[in-house]
């Protein structure tokens, strides 16, 4: 088992662990994270309607629109009002996969739980992103040239704030992914 885990880490490939409930997929992810001091495990629970977008990020366009409308009547009231494109990050939260792909000093551990319950396209979409090791947030990329330093601050799935440059998230260390 240890050789397989080391091979997955070395080859920068996801580790497919099969078996029913209780076989130890979650325990394996937590053990690797603890043993290698990789931080908390990022957990992405999958249901039948989960899409790749759910794992990458969520953009709350409705909240941003509300803030723009409020700011139109009271310019000091909302973060996302006219003249404040740099605050678009307030409306974006990275999902577990997006958080795992952030540049970092050490890889993160991502547990993709219940992938077998997903839509038929999700596994292929997921593998494409994992092969690339990066993705673009179009909402940020469109505004990058108007953002200070071409960066926006967004929230991660584990509650941290990070800066994303040019709307692109690209990992420096491939995450350890347990499927």
How many Cβ atoms from other residues are within 10 Å of residue 51's Cβ? 12
Ramachandran class of 39: left when φ > 0, alpha when ψ lies in -120 to 50, beta otherwise: left
pLDDT of residue 69: 86
Contacts of 109 (CB under 8 A, 6+ apart): 29, 30, 32, 33, 38, 39, 41, 42, 100, 175, 176, 177, 178
CATH number, position 10: 3.40.50
Distance of CA 99 to the CA centre of its chain: 3
Residue 77 lies in a domain: no
CB-based burial label for 29 (10 Å; 0-12, 13-18, 19+)? buried
Residue 171 lies in a domain: yes
Q: Distance between CA 88 and CA 143 in Å, rounded?
A: 9
Residue 79 lies in a domain: no
User: pLDDT confidence of 43, banded at 50, 70, 90?
Assistant: very high
- Please provide the average confidence, as pLDDT, over all residues in the chain: 89
**What's the domain range around 12?**
1-60+88-178
C-alpha dist (Å) from residue 37 to 4, 12, 81, 106, 108: 19, 17, 41, 9, 9
For 120-166, the pLDDT digits (tens) are 999 999 999 999 999 999 999 998 888 888 899 999 999 999 999 99
The dihedral sign for the CA sequence 109, 26, 97, 7? positive
Lowest mean pLDDT among 13-17, 61-65, 111-115: 13-17
User: Does the structure show a pLDDT above 70 at 41?
Assistant: yes
pLDDT of residue 37: 94
Residue 74 lies in a domain: no
Residue 5 lies in a domain: yes
Q: Distance between CA 78 and CA 81 in Å, rounded?
A: 6
pLDDT of residue 81: 47
pLDDT of residue 77: 54
Residue 2 lies in a domain: yes
User: Does the structure show a pLDDT above 50 at 103?
Assistant: yes
Alpha helices in 36-172 (DSSP H): 52-56, 61-73, 96-100, 122-132, 138-141
For 58-67, the pLDDT digits (tens) are 999 999 888 8
User: Does the structure show a pLDDT above 70 at 106?
Assistant: yes
Residue 82 lies in a domain: no
User: pLDDT confidence of 10, banded at 50, 70, 90?
Assistant: confident
Domains identified in the chain, total number: 1
Residue 71 lies in a domain: no
For 52-88, the pLDDT digits (tens) are 999 999 999 999 888 888 888 876 555 544 544 458 8
Global pTM value? 0.87
H helix or E strand, kind and range, residue 80: none
């Amino acid at each position: 088992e240890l050789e397989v885990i080391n091979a997955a880490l070395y080859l920068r490939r996801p580790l497919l662990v099969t078996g029913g409930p209780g076989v130890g997929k979650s325990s394996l992810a937590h053990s690797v994270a603890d043993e290698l001091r990789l931080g908390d495990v990022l957990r992405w629970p999958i249901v039948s309607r989960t899409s790749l977008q759910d794992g990458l990020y969520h953009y709350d366009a409705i909240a941003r629109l509300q803030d723009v409308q409020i700011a139109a009547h009271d310019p000091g009231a909302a973060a996302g009002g006219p003249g404040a494109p740099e605050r678009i990050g307030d409306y974006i939260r990275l999902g577990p996969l997006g958080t795992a792909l952030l540049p970092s000093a050490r890889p993160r551990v991502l547990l993709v739980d219940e992938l077998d319950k997903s839509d038929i396209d999700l596994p292929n979409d997921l593998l494409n992103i994992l092969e690339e090791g990066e993705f673009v947030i179009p909402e940020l990329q469109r505004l990058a040239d108007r953002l200070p330093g071409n960066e926006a601050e967004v929230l991660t799935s584990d509650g941290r704030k990070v800066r994303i440059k040019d709307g692109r998230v690209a990992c420096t260390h491939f995450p350890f992914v347990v499927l």
